[in-house]
Amino acid sequence: MEVKFETESRQLLRRLRDLLAEESAGQERLDQITHLTADSMSTGVCSIYLFRDDETLELCATEGLKAEAVHKTRMKLGEGLVGRVGRTRRIVNTADAPSTHGFRYMPETGEEIYSSFCGVPIQRLGETLGVLVVQSKEARQYTEDEVYALEVVAMVIAEMAELGAFVGEGAALVARHSQPIIMRGIAGQEGTVEGHVWLHEPRVVVTNPVADDPHREMERLTEAVEDLRVSVDEMLAETTGSDEAQVLETYRMFANSKGWMRRMQEDIALGLSAEAAVEKEQSLARARMGQANDSYLRERLSDLDDLSNRLLRILTGQGTETGAEMPSNPILVARNIGPAELLEYGRALKGIVLEEGSVGSHAAIVARALAIPLIIRAERATTEALNGNHIILDGDAGIVHLRPDDSVVSAFRDKIAMQRQANERYSSIRDKPAKTVCGKVIGLHMNAGLMADLPSLENSGAEGVGLFRTELQFLIRNQMPKRTELAALYKRVLDAAGGKKVVFRTLDIGSDKVLPYMKPQDEPNPALGWRAIRVGLDKPGIMRMQLQALMRAANGRPLTLMFPFIAQYEEYKWARAEVDKALAREQKLGNPTPDRLEVGAMLETPSLAFAPEKFFRDVGFISIGGNDLKQFFFAADRENERVRRRYDTLNVSFLSLIEQIVERCDRTGTPVSFCGEDAGRPMEAACFAAMGLRTLSMRPASIGPVKSILMRTNLDELRQVIHAARHRGEQSVRPAVASFFQNTM
């Protein structure tokens, strides 16, 4: 009986393949699929529902229901049993549909005479395209074999929809990858840019979902899996990092999984090609990944997804090098990307869109260093975009416009033109000091982390580098860099600065910045865990090596360095002692030592603002690390969109803390600056200056806008506005400050 069913299934798939190979309209093809499926499974009804928009399913073809209901019957996601399948991506198989929870009667379809119902999601790589339904008059549940056959048919429908086989009239039958799409993500790096899509890993397209010779497909699958296993073993033999080895061991486990292989062989036995069988399993893994709450399970499913991609490339011969030429003004679209890969692209990219990632990820750090607009967590970016598609990034709002219509293009070109005009104005004041109306001069410095940033020191008008992130050179490697390599890099940085001050921040790793060759720490809250100076003090060998590299790079010139994430005075004293040891060692070796050495600390935890007075007298300078300080002050994870936007930088409590820090530093004569994203926002920067800060450090592109507003601001008047709003008991001074600028500029 089972053999007969499989034979009938293969016959159905062959008939489907022959049908889809014919020249016919999309609607006709859908109608024939429902007829073939209903006939093969001896059911009264077979219907295909497709999404017409993100929230609405539409009946697009049916065998058995009333023909006049086609393209008329619609339901919202989650509405009725069909909507339930579409929302949950799970099969509903019931012998008594009217009594099943969620059932919705649709009288226009004539379905009241059908009792049984089986709905299967039509999905491809985690994206749900619609629902395939069969119904019968007799009350019965469909067998496991019948459900399995429906899944295979649904998979073929999804694959052929990707290839444009069902294009017709109406929103539900519009050609895929042809309509304007708006994707909302999270701004990882600000900026507005227009360009064309460049897929980091081009999507593998399966053009032969149905095969004639199951035995040959079994052989192809076996050969490809063996090649995959060999490649994983070779990578594992060459790896040096334990973390990378752990990932590859997981790959090897999946590659040798008998269950994975058996499921793909069963799909082939039903009539799928080897490629389609792999993609069917991959789609199911993607669907499970989206529903998994457990982070470990999501990671394992992600590993399986990546392994499936590798297997598909072996089977199809579609490698990452497709022969396509990178378009003009390329905007990279990827699920995720590592820092080393991103650096290989360099400044050739105009923008980046990622489906995954975080605002503190390695990719985001590199994107900010390269001043490339970045949007993260843009769902469906890789499934919607095609190489060469027109795309616009609004990095300020975290919005991606894919294949935008003319009105959107016109509006964004106007915005970009206005920004260009503003940049021209900024260039005219580039070499002027940031002197306010009331006569106060604010020092504006830039943040950097790569040699590629240093030309901005001259072009932006920055007075120096207020923060040079030294961790990037550790993050982009597969092993610990050597002292000589670091010394050579730091020397090039100082040379390129041309005598302007460069503040080197010592290694800031941990939390979201994990070295690939360092054993990962299983911490429930890594942002509050073993990171930055805590790692340096626990592993002093790394700190000493870096300090020696910095001193050798200075080669008798002035050197300024600061320690990240100092939470208490003792940590600064211990870290400062390491500097003294490194200095003494260099003197003993006869190496030139810095002619002037400044050692400071980043104030990123509220606790340090209340440190003993002696700390403020001992420390060389303080740099307020605004990104982390705001996170800990408000107890709001800056990676969590649900809470991070709830708390305003111009909240009176936060400004009061800034004011208190400035006052303590003034009493002790300690130089103090503000470093972070908020320093680069003109309104916030002006408020910081009004609170007494005289040095700000930001990304190079922000220096012009910040200098422009400062040169037109009377800080004494702005300070009065802030104090008045605080006296009135307002939670944020933003409305009052915005009104002040509107009336005075």
CA distance 100 to 569: 66
Q: Which residues of 693-720 are buried (b: 16+ CB within 10 A; e: fewer)?
A: bbbbbbbbbbbbbbbbbbeebbbeebbe
Residue 683 identity: M
State the angle between helix axes of 214-238 and 258-269 in degrees (0 to 180), rounded to the nearest 10. Answer: 160
CA distance 128 to 137: 28
Q: How many residues does the chain have?
A: 745
State the angle between helix axes of 295-316 and 242-255 in degrees (0 to 180), rounded to the nearest 10. Answer: 70
Decide: helix, strand or coil at residue 535: helix
Residue 673, beta-bridge partner list = 623
Q: Which residues of 80-95 are buried (b: 16+ CB within 10 A; e: fewer)?
A: bbbbbbbbebebbbbb
Of the residues 60, 665, 675, 687, only one is catalytic, namely 675
Q: Which residues of 107-117 are buried (b: 16+ CB within 10 A; e: fewer)?
A: eebbbeebbbb
* Residue position matching structure tokens 């006709």: 28
CA distance 121 to 46: 14
User: Which residue in 107, 94, 90, 77 sits closest to 135, CA to CA?
Assistant: 94
Structure tokens at 163: 């290839």
675 as an active site residue: the answer is: yes
What sign results for the dihedral spanned by CA atoms 537, 539, 541, 546? negative
Strands 559-566 and 501-505: parallel
State the angle between helix axes of 26-41 and 144-162 in degrees (0 to 180), rounded to the nearest 10. Answer: 170
Of the residues 71, 200, 362, 445, only one is catalytic, namely 362
Q: Is there a contact between 176 and 162 (Cβ–Cβ < 8 Å)?
A: yes
Half-sphere exposure of 140 (CA within 13 A, CB side): 13
Residues near 696 by Cβ (< 8 Å), separated by ≥ 6? 442, 443, 444, 445, 466, 673, 674, 675, 679, 685, 688, 689, 706
101 as an active site residue: the answer is: no
Q: Is there a contact between 565 and 605 (Cβ–Cβ < 8 Å)?
A: yes
Q: Catalytic site residues?
A: 362, 675
